[in-house]
Every structure is written in structure tokens, then in C-alpha cells.
Amino acid sequence: MMPSIKELSREPELFSSGHRACTGCGEVLAVRQVLLAAIKPVACVMPTGCLEIVSTIYPHTAWQVPMFHSAFENAAATISGMEAAYRVLKRKGKITEDINFIAFGGDGGTYDIGFQALSGAVERRHRFLYVCLDNEAYMNTGIQRSSATPLGAHTTTSPAGKVKPGKLEWRKDIVEIMIAHDIPYAAQATVWNWNDLANKVRKALSINGPSFINVLVPCPLGWGYHSSQTITLSKLAVETCFWPLYECENHKYRLNYVPKEKLPVTEWLKLQDRFRHLFRPENKSLLDAFQEEVDRRWEQLNKKVKCFD
Amino acid sequence: MIVAKTGNEAMAYAMKQCRPDVVAAYPITPSTEIVQIFSSFVADGLVDTEYVPVESEHSAMSACIGAAASGARAMTATASQGLALMHEMLFIAAGLRLPIVMCVASRSLSSPLNIHCDHSDSVASRDSGWIQIFCESSQEGYDSVIQAVKIAERAYLPVIVAIDGFILSHCMERLEILSDEEVSDFLGEFKPNYSLLDTKNPITVGPACLPDSYFEHKRAEAEGIRQAKGIIEEVIEEYRKRFHRYYPVIDEYQAEDAEVVVLAMGSTVGTAKIAVDELRAQGKKVGALKLRFFRPLFSEKLVASLRKFKVVGILDRAEAMNSYISPLATEIRAALYHQTEKPLIVSYVYGLGGREITQEDIKVVFEELIHIKETQKVKDEVSYIGVR
Ligand SMILES: Cc1ncc(C[n+]2csc(CCOP(=O)(O)OP(=O)(O)O)c2C)c(N)n1
Ligand code: SF4
């Protein structure tokens, strides 16, 4: 289990340099970390989105593992078919090695358009790890709101204007929804805490059934910050308890990291252009609502950890 | 062996004998029985297939695509709204050159909602790059599924095998079936030319192609469907030699000396043949043509056949909504454009949403076609048979 940094440093890079992601892109950091930690061999799927566009412009590819992209809403359905093929071909002796399956989906391809396929695949108990690369908007098509976009965020389809202060709804809690599917393993992670993410990937892949990891992947372009700040923003999301690092394994919740001092969420918000308008006096109530919701969820999660222990 | 089976049973049985590795499907009338029967074969251990009971047709086709790209023989069945929901994925299956076979029990499309037969579903998938076979009988449906697997795997293209919803899917027919060994022998093992499960030789499938390469891929795909014509004829011939059942790509009935003919796809061809027999008995020089492949369109063969006649009535079980003529008639007129000697083409839409078509209806069409031959005047670009 628990891979050390020394061990990971010896692993081959399976997502090679030369891809076309923006500098500081959290998505490709997450993919590299997941593939370093993965129990090999793996075969992967991704839906349409930034990751696909930056890594597979024909005739180039950044993938050193089998990678399949077919459409936007079907990563989980596609991997269901691959995993079914694997099971039958193994039974027939046409494949001998043990292969792990990983789907990488953006929040749009996971929370929204791909949600039905994901729900179906998890209910059918296919053996695969679904990694949601959550940058909280549809970045590939130019930063539109998704159901992962937080309250108040400015996006190109929930713009902060004269009468509307950005997105009016709180984000969908996808990890809880996956847990409600009775999934054997679901977790939340970030690219800041590589150790935690690596552990979670190892755990997820050792499970006989579906597993889900939601990784917060800051996007300099969509969030509006300097590309050197990706790790800082990942860390602040955790330290403010906006993005708790936790897991739920066979109905047992566990917090993987408890901040020494819970920072106000404004520490995370204030570094991002998409929340800039929230700091105007007229939007104070929205800022307060944001903090309240973070507190409420943090408290609830702590209760779950205690009562399901 | 001779058995009695409905069209759906025949298709499911043929699927079983083709021994697919993966079947992913979602139920929809009138094709539901195909997936029900197939899943009972799986439950009884009669076939070693991974059956994936997906949550939608979009996922059914996605899973078939994932399975086929992983080197598995993949099949599914659907109709109507299900085929429409797959629409996006149909293009991806064909563009990735994946030999998936799909049984379709043809049904109309909403709105209004209607579960009965017409060809709107498959016809709407015309430009998706799938080979499309329309069957006259359940026997042909059965034989076509087996042929389709071989055609798909040789041409590296996906294939739809369509039987008419309810008319064939739910009617019992006398059926001659092959033995499991005969089918296995005919098909052989599926040997994919790449697999995503070959982790030692990792490949990326389904990349993004910019304007500098997309066009070449599409052109290559178009060549693929052109070349599929030769492969189709080889497979039909092999099937004839082995099993003595022959379904030409264009079947001419009493057409040798005919002056006016009707052309149709699917079960209506059988009805037309009876109408022809009755009119022949009255000494009328009429015939019928069956078009078995809507895609690829065997245009050279069509032209060679159609040139002989004076007037051709195209019976179309779909509307093109092009404000002009029916879908098949549009294509056939286009195929004939360069010919100096060509028949008059008359377009008929019939049977939408399961409206009956009888030999009497077709006899009325023949009377009109004979009148058109005599006057050389086509009054209506398109007529609707039996509509109130
Ligand atoms: C059916 C369909 N609808 C819309 C699109 C356009 N589209 C492509 S990627 C994308 C957004 C991707 O967002 P997300 O999944 O969050 O990934 P990101 O780009 O942020 O990594 C959209 C809307 C599509 N490809 N297919
Ligand atoms: S837009 Fe955002 S998600 Fe997309 S490549 Fe750039 S940084 Fe990554």
C-alpha cells in the first residue's frame, strides 16, 4: 500500500511532457500523480474536455498507456464495455494479465452530461476507478458553469452582472451521491497532497468493484490566478475546509487531513478572479452564505466520521 | 433444422450462434424480445457472453464501442427512439472502424409517439457510416445477422440488420436454421487489428483531429464503405455456396421483361411480389425490385437494373421532410442522373407508423405506373398510399 515518494520517483511517467495544457494546469498534475500511483497495467478512458484536447491532437499523444476517447457523456459506459470485454476475453484465455481500468472525467463529463452513464456503471458494479478532475466549470468550451461550480462564481454562463452576482446555486455534492450508490470506495483529494492522492488511488484499485475519487484541480485560466499558484490554491481549499480530504470505504467515513487552524474561506476565494465581485459590499451576504455552507458541510462531515466509525 | 420462430427470436438465435463476447443493450419495443431472449441464453449458460444491461441506448452503443475497441465481438439490438438516442455514437463506431453488429426492429420516430413499423429510424441514420441491411423475411433476418458479422469484421465497419417491427419481429415463420458449428465455421474467430487491452503496445484511440487531418480520416472511411461493396458480395456468395441460401444485393422479381416495376425495402417486397403475380396473371408486364442494402447504396447495380424499365415506383416507408420526394427516391433519382436512357421515377410514401399496406394498394400503384408509362406524365412528385 502507501507508496513513498522514493518509490513513486522510480515509476515511469505515463503521461509524457509535450502536451498542450496551460502552464499550471491542475488536471495534468492529477493525471500524472494518479498514473504514478496506479497499480499497473492500466487501460484508460476519458470523455471530451480539456484533458483530451491537450493530450491527443493527432498524430501526437501524451499517453503511454492505452487511452480511449469517444464522446463527452459516456466515459463510464465506455469503460463498462472495455471491462466487460476484459472479463470475457480473460475467461476465454485470450488475455492473461490483470488490468486495472481508470476513467478520467472533467466535472462537466461527470456531474452533468455523463452522470447517467456513471450512475449506471456504478450500479452495475463494473471494476474501475473513476477519477473526476474537478476544476469546477466547463473549461474546454470556455469556462461555462457546471453543477460543480461553487456559489457566486463568475463563469461565462453565470456571469457576474448588474443584477446577478455570478452563480446562484451551491455545487452538487458528487461524492455523497456516489456514496449513496453504495460504492465500495469514494474519496476526495487534491493535487497539493500527492501522498494522500496516491494512497487513495492504490486503495481504490485494490477494490473489487467501482471506486470514485474527486480531485480538485485548479485551473489558472478558469479561476483567474497566476499559474504558479496551483498548489497554493489546492492547499487553501483544504485548509479552509472548502475541500475536505476524506474517504468513505465500505460505509466508513474517514477524514484524511484535519487543518491545524481552519482558515476563513475568503483566504481561498480572494486569490481568484472568478470570486472578485463577491468582495464588493453589496455582495457581503453571498460571501457570508458561502462561509456558512462550508461550515455546515464541514460539521456534517465530522459527524458522519464519528457516527459511522 | 426447421423451426418456427418470430423475427425477434430468429435474430436473438442468430446472435447466440455468432457467439458475441459482449452484448450491451437496453429494451425498446418492438426489439425488446431480442435482448430478453439473449439475456436468457446468457442466464442459462448457452452462450459465453458478457451481457451488460446498461441504463440507456446511448450507453449501450458506448459500451459496444468500448468492447469492440478492446478486441471483443460486440452486438446490440434496438429500434426507433433507441436508435435515435444512439445517433451520436453511431458516427463514432463507424469513424473508429469498429465491426459492431446491431439488430433493429424498424419502428417510427416520435412525435407523435408510435411503436409500429416504418423505416424512419434507420433511414435517419443514413449518413452515420453504418452498413444497413433491410430484410424481407425473418429467415433473411436470421441469415443476415450471420452474414453481417462476417461483413463487419472484414470491412471494419458496423452493420445494422433491420427487420420490420411487428410485421416480422412478432410474427411466427417457418425458419431454417444452421447448426452452431456451421455458423462458427463460417465466421471463425474475431481477430481485431488493434486492442486497447494490449497494454504492452499502448495506443490512443479517438484523438482530436484538426483541419490538417480530419478530412483524410473521413475520406478513408468513405473509401472503406465503397470497398465494403466487394466484401459484401463475397460474403453473400460464400453463404450461398455453403448454405444454399442466396440474397442478392438487388433482387429482381419478374423483372426480365417488365416495363413498370416497384422498388421497396423490407417485408413490403413480399406483398409486392404477390401483387406482381396477380397482375402477371392478367398479362401485365410488371415486376418488383428488392433493395437489400440501403448503405452502401449499390448505385451501379441499381442503375444497370433500373435502366431497363420505363417507369419505376419507389415505395418508401419513411419521409425525408425535404419538401420534395421520399428518401429512397431522392437517392435513386440521383443515381440515375447521368443516364440518357432512364425510367421515370415516381415517389410513394406508405405505411408510416404501422399503417397497413396490402397487395391491393400495390396493384393501385401499378395501375398508376402503367398510366404514367402510357401518358409519360408524372402528376404528383410524391404520393401517399393509404393516407386519409
Ligand atoms: C454532446 C456534447 N455536448 C457538448 C459538447 C461540448 N463540450 C466539449 S467539452 C465540454 C466541457 C468540458 O467540461 P468538463 O467536463 O468540466 O472538462 P474540462 O474541460 O473542464 O476539463 C463541452 C461542453 C460535446 N463535446 N458533446
Ligand atoms: S483551461 Fe484550465 S483545465 Fe484547461 S488546460 Fe488550461 S488550465 Fe487546464
What ligand is nearest to the CA atom of residue A28?
2
Reported confidence tier of residue B156, pLDDT bands at 50, 70, 90: very high
Helix A115-123 vs helix A75-91: crossing angle, to nearest 10: 30
Are B205 and A81 an interchain contact pair (Cβ–Cβ within 8 Å)? no
| Residue A11 reports pLDDT greater than 70 | yes
Instruction: For residues B322-328, give the mean pLDDT.
Output: 95
| Residue A293 reports pLDDT greater than 80 | yes
Reported ipTM: the value is: 0.97
Choosing from A19, A29, A48, A54 the residue with most ligand 2 atoms within 8 A of its CB, the one to mutate for a pocket test is A54
Are B88 and A48 in contact, with CB atoms under 8 Å apart? Answer: no
Atom of ligand 1 nearest to the CA of A134: 16
Residues in a beta bridge with A190: A216
- Strands A246-249 and B2-6, sheet pairing: unpaired
d(CA A214, CA A237): 13
pLDDT, one tens digit per residue, over B330-345 is: 999 999 999 999 999 9
* 3-state DSSP assignment of residue A44: strand
Q: Minimal Cα–Cα distance from B189 to chain A, Å?
A: 11
Atom of ligand 1 nearest to the CA of A133: 21
Q: Which of B194, B196, B210 to mutate to test the interface with A (most CBs of A within 10 A)?
A: B196
Residues in a beta bridge with B164: B106
Q: How many CA atoms lie within 13 A of B123 on its CB side?
A: 24
Nearest to A89 among B64, B197, B206 (CB): B197
Are B202 and A66 an interchain contact pair (Cβ–Cβ within 8 Å)? yes
pLDDT, one tens digit per residue, over A270-288 is: 999 999 999 999 999 999 9
Three-state secondary structure of chain B: CEEEEEHHHHHHHHHHHHCCCEEECCCCCCCHHHHHHHHHHHHCCCCCCEEECCCCHHHHHHHHHHHHHCCCCEEEEECHHHHHHCHHHHHHHHHCCCCCEEEEEECCCCCCCCCCCCCHHHHHCHHHCCEEEECCCHHHHHHHHHHHHHHHHHHCCCEEEEEECCCCCCCEEEEECCCHHHHHHHHCCCCCCCCCCCCCCCCEECCECCCCCHHHHHHHHHHHHHHHHHHHHHHHHHHHHHHCCCCCCEEEECCCCCCEEEEECCCHHHHHHHHHHHHHHCCCCEEEEEECEEECCCHHHHHHHHCCCCEEEEEECCCCCCCCCCHHHHHHHHHHCCCCCCCEEEEEEECHHHCCCCHHHHHHHHHHHHHHHHHCCCCCCEEEECCC
d(CA B196, CA B205): 8
B325 touches chain A (CB under 8 A): no
pLDDT, one tens digit per residue, over B93-112 is: 999 999 999 999 999 999 99
Q: Report chain B's terminal Cα–Cα distance, integer Å.
A: 45
B203 CB neighbours in chain A (<8 A) are: 66-67
Taking one residue from A and the other from B, the number of pairs with CB-CB distance under 8 angstroms is 170
Q: Which of A58, A90, A97, A104 to mutate to test the interface with B (most CBs of B within 10 A)?
A: A58
Instruction: For residues A197-205, give the mean pLDDT.
Output: 98
Reported confidence tier of residue A1, pLDDT bands at 50, 70, 90: low
B3 touches chain A (CB under 8 A): no
Instruction: For residues B173-188, give the mean pLDDT.
Output: 98
Q: Name the H helices within A42-125.
A: 50-55, 75-91, 107, 115-123
pLDDT, one tens digit per residue, over A113-148 is: 999 999 999 999 999 999 999 999 999 999 999 999
Protein residue with its CA nearest to atom 5 in ligand 2: A21
What angle (nearest 5°) sits at the alpha carbon of residue A254, between those of residues A250 and A259?
A: 160
Q: What is the mean pLDDT of chain A?
A: 97
What angle (nearest 5°) sits at the alpha carbon of residue A185, between those of residues B199 and B198?
A: 5
Nearest to A81 among B24, B55, B204 (CB): B24
| Site residues for ligand 2, CB cut-off 6 Å | A 21-22, 25, 27, 50, 54, 135, 139, 219-222
How much is the pLDDT for A308?
A: 78
d(CA A145, CA B326): 43
Are B48 and A63 an interchain contact pair (Cβ–Cβ within 8 Å)? no
Instruction: For residues B372-388, give the mean pLDDT.
Output: 95
Q: Minimal Cα–Cα distance from B25 to chain A, Å?
A: 11
Are B56 and A42 an interchain contact pair (Cβ–Cβ within 8 Å)? no
Evaluate the CA torsion angle A61, A66, A71, A74 in order and state its sign: negative
- Strands B74-78 and B286-291, sheet pairing: unpaired
Evaluate the CA torsion angle A262, A267, A269, A271 in order and state its sign: negative
| Residue A3 reports pLDDT greater than 90 | no
Q: Minimal Cα–Cα distance from A215 to chain B, Å?
A: 23
Protein residue with its CA nearest to atom 4 in ligand 2: A50
Question: Least CA distance to B73: which residue of chain A?
Answer: A85
pLDDT, one tens digit per residue, over A26-84 is: 999 999 999 999 999 999 999 999 999 999 999 999 999 999 999 999 999 999 999 99
Nearest to B202 among A63, A74, A92 (CB): A63
Nearest to B233 by CA among B137, B300, B325: B300
B181 touches chain A (CB under 8 A): no
- Run of H or E including A212: strand A211-216
* 3-state DSSP assignment of residue A24: coil
A109 lines ligand 1 (CB under 6 A): yes
| Residue A2 reports pLDDT greater than 80 | no
pLDDT, one tens digit per residue, over B237-266 is: 999 999 999 999 999 999 999 999 999 999
A58: cell is: 493527432
A111 lines ligand 1 (CB under 6 A): no
d(CA A132, CA A106): 6
Nearest to B22 among A43, A66, A88 (CB): A88
Nearest to B204 among A61, A86, A89 (CB): A61
Are B56 and A116 an interchain contact pair (Cβ–Cβ within 8 Å)? yes
Atom of ligand 2 nearest to the CA of A140: 4
How much is the pLDDT for B141?
A: 98
> Is the peptide bond prior to B30 cis by the omega test (within 30 degrees of 0)?
yes
Residues in a beta bridge with B74: B22
A106 lines ligand 1 (CB under 6 A): yes
Reported confidence tier of residue B353, pLDDT bands at 50, 70, 90: very high
